[in-house]
Amino acid sequence: MTEFILDPGQIEMESMRIIRAGLKRPWLNKEYPVVERLIHTSGDPSLEQVIAIHPQAIDCGLKALKEGTTVITDVEMVRAGISKEKLKMLGGSVECNLNAPEIAEQAKEWGITRSMTAFRMHPERLKGAIVAIGNAPTALLEVLRLAQQPETRPALIIGIPVGFVGAKESKDILWERQDIPSVTVLGTRGGSPLAATVVNALIYTALREGN
């Protein structure tokens, strides 16, 4: 009969040990928490091959968190997955404007998606923020457009939309924009849990490091 580990802390430690032992790429020490959490959340060791982390992404994300920045998400599922109490300990907060009353009407008027509209209607919120996108490629494209201007440029873009229409292409564009710190998973894989887990990995690291 198979014996299962039942202690939550031991389960997590053993999971991370297995993941770390199976890594193939030469990650920097500061990148391990993000890489390991992405693989842990997906349950897929092969995900390592398509994880892309900008050289400045970790440092910029940690700096922003320690300064109490806002995390802005494209959908409520990403917002729900972020450890808001831990983020609050750093002085930060998380917001998602997708379901604000005016968004749906304005999206119809502009002829674009609601997720895209949510960012376009509040561009000033992007400056110095961490943007976490786990669902909508159109939202990622809009953030990239806005990020061309210093006054609407985020500190970090976590762009991991999932799907077969525009997701891969939007992430390719994100990764080509090496002037903007980013974390992404190239290809069609992605989703809200992965976007949230990157934010959480950075939050936990920031709390461990302190100010």
For residues 64 and 127, the answer to whether their CB atoms sit within 8 Å is no
Q: Which residue has tokens 């900008």?
A: 54
User: In a 3-state reduction of DSSP, which class is residue 174?
Assistant: helix
CA angle 130, 163, 93 (to 5 degrees): 20
For residues 37 and 160, the answer to whether their CB atoms sit within 8 Å is no
How far does Cα 54 stand from its chain's mean position? 13
Tokens representing 113 are 């998606």
Any idea which residues carry the catalytic annotation?
Answer: 40
